[in-house]
Amino acid sequence: MNRLVVPLALLAFLLASCAGDRKQAEDAADGPSSRRITPADVQDAVPVSEPLARYGNHSPYTVLGKTYTVLPTSKGYNERGIASWYGSKFHGRRTSSGEPYDMHLATAAHKRLPLPTYAEVTNLDNGRKMIVKINDRGPFHEDRIIDLSYAAAIKLGVDQTGTARVDVRAINVDTPKRSAVKVADGTFLQVGAFSKRKTADDLAGIMLAEQVKPVTVQKSRGLYKVWIGPYASEAEIEASMRRVVELGYERPHRVSR
Confidence grade of residue 34 (pLDDT, cut at 50, 70, 90): low
Residues 6+ apart with CB under 8 A from 196: 224
Tens of pLDDT, residue by residue over 68-111, are 999 989 999 999 999 999 987 888 889 999 899 998 999 999 99
Three-state secondary structure of the chain: CCCCCCCHHHHHHHHHHHHHHHHHHHCCCCCCCCCCCCHHHCCCCCCCCCCCCCCCCCCCEEECCEEECCCCCCCCCEEEEEEEEECCCCCCCECCCCCECCCCCCEEECCCCCCCEEEEEEECCCCCEEEEEEEECCCCCCCCCEEEEHHHHHHHCCCCCCCEEEEEEECCCCCCCHHHCEEEEEEEEEEEEECCHHHHHHHHHHHHHCCCCCEEEEEECCEEEEEEEEEEEHHHHHHHHHHHHHCCCCCCEEEEC
Closest to 179 measured CA to CA, from 39, 44, 41: 44
Summarize pLDDT for 203-219 with one digit per residue, the tens: 999 999 998 989 999 99
Domains of the chain from N-terminus onward: 8-170 (2.40.40.10), 181-256 (3.30.70.1070)
Distances (CA, A) of 115 to 66, 143, 222, 232: 20, 21, 44, 27
Q: Is pLDDT above 60 for 2?
A: no
Full-model pTM: 0.60
pLDDT exceeds cutoff 90 at 173: no
Q: Give the β-pairing of 129-136 and 107-109.
A: parallel
